[in-house]
A and B are shown apart, each in its own frame.
Chain A
């Protein structure tokens, strides 16, 4: 047996989860799909006195259309997202990001909420949530609050969720009109965390001008990233007036905390990031132009 001993809790309702978390404080950790947490427990890089399993909590799994958004419950598995016709139709960027999440054997257990709460800057779902201005529904002992994605990712593996709070679900805005979406990643091996990646969404008006665009950055900082300056400069311009390589350069122009490790220096990752943005931009704009 690898993990240190812990007490296992299997609450049935969201309020019971929050009650337990309040009671147990920082000795407790939420266990969702476990595809990031259990490796850390097995290697004893992390130990907790209590694990609160949320995978069977009522109302925590599912995909629903709510007020023009697509709500995805935290305990919804990546595999369920991959199979969902609603996700493919309403939030194509999320559907396109999913095959990049680990391997299919990981996606059968891994959850959307778990990935967002783990907040790995090289993970796909956090970057997609940020790019689409998703809203996180967080349950506290005092009630429910909504956190915009822009305020959710606070630092490396750190979010705005308090110790006694539970991420119940996430609402992803649904884009309509002439839209296109693409995710591109470069990884050393299929299924590895990306050296760098990009998640791009665009909407074109009838004259092929950019009505809106979003550029999410994967693995290019201590948090999931977004090229907001580039988006501002591009919005309203004629699609034909700018090359995808230029978009790539713009998107990585003012990055300041790109990680360096044995797989690549910050400089190298930045260059790869620009190429991934350029490729995703090309694919997304081609899709929108066809729409």
Chain B
């Protein structure tokens, strides 16, 4: 699909039909693309924006691997059409580390072995980032509930829990 980055005037912007124009800010960069209305936000990010850090597991909202931030809220990008993201700010895993410096959450996943194969990791990191933005000093129960919407088949979750505890500043000193 050809990339179209020129801004369209409001009059020429197609917002209805089988093919639609999407103007959206992805990781701080404003873009404009003409896409099929049926294109999910996940496929838009991966196929059109070439941001393949957003992973697709189940594609029906169960696994959480495709979680991204839409206007700061953690959202399943497989359960949203790209056209529905028009005029929003989307942040993917690629957009977290400003200037190549890992965020606290990313650093904690590395420190605590919160990943093995890495497939689920972008979804976990985005979910944890959104959760910690809204929860100061969460208890263990809250952390477990917040992570329940993401599936991991490698780690057994303990490293992930440790990582979120560390990022939240609630980890027991070891």
Which A residues are within 8 Å of any B CB, using their own CB?
1-10, 34-35, 38-39, 41-43, 51, 53, 55, 79, 99, 102-106, 108-109, 189-191
Contacts and interface: CB of A to CB of B under 8 A. Distances in A.
A42 B17 contact: no
Contacts of A2: 38, 40, 59
A191 B76 contact: no
Interface in B62-84: 64, 67, 70, 73-76, 78-81, 83-84
A105 B16 contact: no
B36 A34 contact: no
Nearest to A39: B60
Contacts of A102: 149
A4 B39 CA distance: 10
Secondary structure class of chain B's binding surface, majority of residues: mixed
A51 B59 CA distance: 19
A204 B81 CA distance: 48
A109 B80 contact: yes
B36 A5 contact: yes
A1 B144 CA distance: 33
Contact of B38 (A3, A55, A190, A191): A3
B162 interface: no
Contacts of A104: 74, 127, 130-131, 146, 149
Contact of B75 (A39, A43, A109): A109
Given A1-B36, A7-B18, 6 more contacts: A6-B38, A8-B16, A9-B16, A35-B79, A103-B148, A108-B74
A53 B60 CA distance: 19
A106 B75 CA distance: 7
B60 A190 contact: no
A38 to B, nearest CB: 5
Contacts of B74: 104-105, 108
B75 A108 contact: yes
Contact of B37 (A7, A35, A43, A191): A7
A42 B78 contact: yes
A33 to B, nearest CB: 8
B145 interface: yes
Nearest to A52: B16
27 contacts: A1-B36, A4-B38, A7-B17, A8-B18, A8-B81, A10-B15, A10-B16, A34-B81, A34-B84, A35-B61, A35-B76, A35-B79, A38-B78, A38-B80, A38-B81, A39-B79, A42-B60, A51-B37, A102-B149, A103-B148, A104-B130, A105-B64, A105-B67, A105-B76, A106-B76, A108-B70, A109-B76
